[in-house]
């Protein structure tokens, strides 16, 4: 089966008269792990939401390659396949188990496979003892783990993680890192945003940087290249 | 004085527990008319509340304020309007709904709808946008996401339903004008209480008042148990 791919062309996002960012061409493929950098208010979350199909850009369009065609009542092929995780994840009113299995109500996964994924997700996110607890009673780290596990169960082709380890203690960060590495191992394409370099950003192979209302893509900082000099600019 | 009150209360309870046909006919008419009005109005009003909360269309501000104004219109004025519509020479006179339960249902729908629209709009406006986005990004269809949002807002939406139902079940003006207070046909609890009090037959009025009181208690306790020990949620 071919890898899925998102290609954004001539993207432009404005709120009223204020231009947030522009990008000539951006590509996010299954298997890519991209680090999205930018200051507060530069539009990192907005860009992620656009690529996840939750928002429409002011200009430009997103091409989808390799996504299964949905039924007419689910015209947006990205929903459920390119999953966006909020910086502060929203957990539905109910138990941890309800939240964990929420997305499976809309997937075509067989019951046996779904059950297997649920068991794995519980183990991976260490949520076994919390399954019947109310989601609203979880700590910040537990909420984030639950949110990632909830997405992981769906085996998304692409995943946008908005500041996934912000305000988390070291143990929770390590656990989240393991979950993200597992997703990477399984071939999920990921776009991660973070304010600072950390263990999470070290696993990224490519960087996107929003600066001066432009989205630039660069080689990773680990390749002994000056971080401030983009080697390869897709969009500027 | 207190003996008199006690005697009245005993008579009222006796009317209720002896299944007095007149009293129970009044109760049955009251509930069937108000339930019908609520059921017919519920879904369209909630949809309109949803649209007013989320759809950015021209004139939304005017409609929102109109709906909120309609909430405070006295029920007799709505009764007058429905009377004029249903009277023999009125635009809906051919329906012959004046002094019928259908006419009462129409009147109560007009009273109920603004309450449901305004309160559901307020509930939908208060929703956390991430609930919608999370639902959609996890693969929910548009309809499933709406259902999820409604589930998240079930308490304020239930409160809207209870508030609307209470308003129509206890209104006198419109039922009196449009229904005509005909025994076993259009006499409901509030019109019967008004009539029996004016006649000095307080026992039946108290019996019917007790029914409304018990209903209010049941609804509030039911809502309370649904709410459980819920504390303000942190997101």
Taking CA atoms, A114 is separated from A69, A121, A176, A194, in Å, by 21, 10, 21, 31
Interface check for B130 against chain A (CB to CB < 8 A): the answer is yes
Q: How confident is the model at residue A56 (pLDDT cuts 50, 70, 90)?
A: very high
- Does position B95 have pLDDT exceeding 90, yes or no? yes
Looking at residue A236, its pLDDT comes to: 28
Would you call B141 an interface residue with chain A, using a CB distance cutoff of 8 Å? yes
pTM for this structure? 0.81
In a domain, A110, yes or no: yes
CATH number attached to the domain at B22-225: 1.10.3720.10
> What Å distances lie between residue A186 and A179, A183, B59, B62, B201, CA to CA?
11, 5, 50, 53, 79
User: Is the ipTM, as predicted for this complex, more than 0.95?
Assistant: no
Query: Closest to A88 (Cβ–Cβ): which among B137, B140, B235?
Result: B235
- Tens digit of pLDDT for each residue in B101-113? 999 999 999 999 9
The number of C-alpha atoms within 13 Å of B59 and in the hemisphere containing its C-beta is 3
Mean pLDDT along residues A206-227: 72
pLDDT-derived band at B53 (thresholds 50, 70, 90) equals very high
The reply to whether A235 falls in a domain is no
Give the residue among A137, A138, A158 at the shortest CA–CA distance from A64. Answer: A158
**Which of A25-39, B35-49, B193-207 has the highest average model confidence (pLDDT)?**
B35-49
**Number of domains within chain A:** 1
Confidence class of residue A205 from pLDDT cuts 50, 70 and 90?
confident
pLDDT band, residue A74 (cuts 50/70/90):
low
Alpha helices in chain B (DSSP H): 2-17, 21-54, 60-71, 75-86, 101-125, 129-137, 142-152, 154-170, 173-174, 189-199, 202-227
Nearest-CB residue to A79 (from B136, B143, B152):
B136
Any B CB within 8 A of A105 CB: yes
**CA angle, corner A7, sides to A6 and A10, nearest 5?**
145
Please, which pLDDT band fits residue A230 given cuts at 50, 70 and 90? very low
Considering chain B, what is the average pLDDT of its residues? 91
| Residue A74 forms contact with B (CB below 8 Å) | yes
A55-59: average pLDDT: 93
| Residue A91 belongs to a domain | yes
Does some domain include residue A228?
Answer: no
The pLDDT value recorded for residue A173 is 83
d(C-alpha B48, C-alpha B41), whole Å: 11
Q: Is A176 part of a structural domain of the chain?
A: yes
Residues A90, B143: C-beta atoms closer than 8 Å: no
Q: Does B142 touch chain A (CB under 8 A)?
A: yes
Assign A225 a pLDDT band (cuts: 50, 70, 90): very low
Q: Chain A partners of B130 at a C-beta cutoff of 8 Å?
A: 86, 88-90
Per-residue pLDDT at A232: 30
Residue of chain A whose alpha carbon sits nearest to that of B144 = A106
Contact state of A90 with B235 under an 8 Å Cβ cutoff: yes
Q: CB contacts < 8 Å between A and B, how many?
A: 67
Token duo for residue A49? 């939401």
Q: In chain B, what residues touch A105 (CB-CB under 8 Å)?
A: 140, 144
The span from the CA of A143 to the CA of A91, in Å, is: 8
Query: HSE on the CB side for B166, CA within 13 Å?
Result: 14
On chain B, the residues whose CB falls within 8 A of the CB of A82 are 137
Average of pLDDT values for B168-182?
Answer: 95
Handedness of CA B159, B162, B167, B168 (dihedral sign): positive
| Yes or no, beta carbons of A106 and B138 under 8 Å apart | yes
A12, A22 contact by CB (below 8 A): yes
Domain hosting residue A196, numbered range: 5-223
Measured in degrees and rounded to the nearest 5, phi and psi for residue B221 equal -70, -35
At A203, which CATH number?
A: 3.40.50.300
Mean pLDDT of A79-85: 90
pLDDT digits (tens, 9 = 90+) for A84-139: 999 999 999 999 999 999 999 998 888 899 999 999 999 988 999 999 999 999 98
Q: Which residue has the tokens 């091409």?
A: A63
A144 vs A176: CA distance, rounded Å: 8
* Residues of chain A numbered 163-222 and touching chain B (CB < 8 Å): none
């Amino acid at each position: 089966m071919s890898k899925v791919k998102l290609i954004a062309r001539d993207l432009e996002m404005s709120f009223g008269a204020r231009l947030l960012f522009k990008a000539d061409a951006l590509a996010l493929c299954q298997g890519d792990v991209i680090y999205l950098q930018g200051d507060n208010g530069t539009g990192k979350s907005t860009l992620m939401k656009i690529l996840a199909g939750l928002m429409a850009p002011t200009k430009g369009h997103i091409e989808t390659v390799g996504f299964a065609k949905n039924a007419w009542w689910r015209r947006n092929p990205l929903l459920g396949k390119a999953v966006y995780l909020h910086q502060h994840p929203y957990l539905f009113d109910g138990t941890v188990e309800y939240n964990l299995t929420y997305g499976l109500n809309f997937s075509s996964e067989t019951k046996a496979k779904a059950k297997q994924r649920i068991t794995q997700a519980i183990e991976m996110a260490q949520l076994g003892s919390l399954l019947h607890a109310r989601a609203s009673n979880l700590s910040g780290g537990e909420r984030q783990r639950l949110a990632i596990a909830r997405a992981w169960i769906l085996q998304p082709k692409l995943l946008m993680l908005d500041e996934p380890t912000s305000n988390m203690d070291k143990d929770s960060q390590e656990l989240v890192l393991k979950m993200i590495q597992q997703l990477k191992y399984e071939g999920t394409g990921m776009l991660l945003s973070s304010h600072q370099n950390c263990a999470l950003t070290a696993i990224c192979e490519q960087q996107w940087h929003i600066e001066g209302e432009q989205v630039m893509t660069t080689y990773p900082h680990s390749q002994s290249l000056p971080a401030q000099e983009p080697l390869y600019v897709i969009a500027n | 004085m207190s003996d008199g009150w006690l005697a009245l209360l005993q008579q009222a309870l006796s009317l209720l527990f002896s299944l007095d046909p007149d009293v129970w006919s009044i109760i049955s008419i009251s509930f069937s008319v108000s339930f019908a009005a609520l059921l017919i109005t519920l879904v369209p009003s909630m949809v309109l509340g949803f649209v007013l909360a989320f759809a950015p269309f021209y004139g939304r501000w005017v409609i929102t304020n109109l709906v909120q104004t309609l909430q405070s219109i006295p029920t007799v004025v709505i009764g007058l309007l429905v009377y004029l519509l249903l009277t023999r020479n009125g635009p809906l006179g051919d329906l012959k709904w004046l002094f019928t339960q259908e006419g009462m249902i129409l009147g109560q729908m007009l009273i109920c709808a603004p309450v449901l629209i305004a309160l559901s709009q307020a509930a939908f406006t208060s929703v956390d946008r991430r609930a919608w986005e999370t639902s959609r990004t996890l693969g929910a269809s548009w309809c499933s996401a709406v259902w999820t949002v409604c589930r998240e807002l079930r308490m304020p939406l239930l409160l809207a339903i209870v508030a609307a139902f209470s308003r129509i079940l206890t209104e006198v003006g419109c039922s009196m004008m449009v229904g005509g207070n005909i025994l076993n046909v259009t006499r409901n609890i509030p019109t019967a209480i008004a009539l029996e009090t004016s006649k000095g037959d307080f026992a039946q009025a108290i019996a019917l008042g007790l029914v409304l009181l018990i209903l209010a208690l049941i609804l509030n306790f039911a809502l309370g148990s649904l709410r459980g020990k819920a504390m303000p949620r942190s997101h």
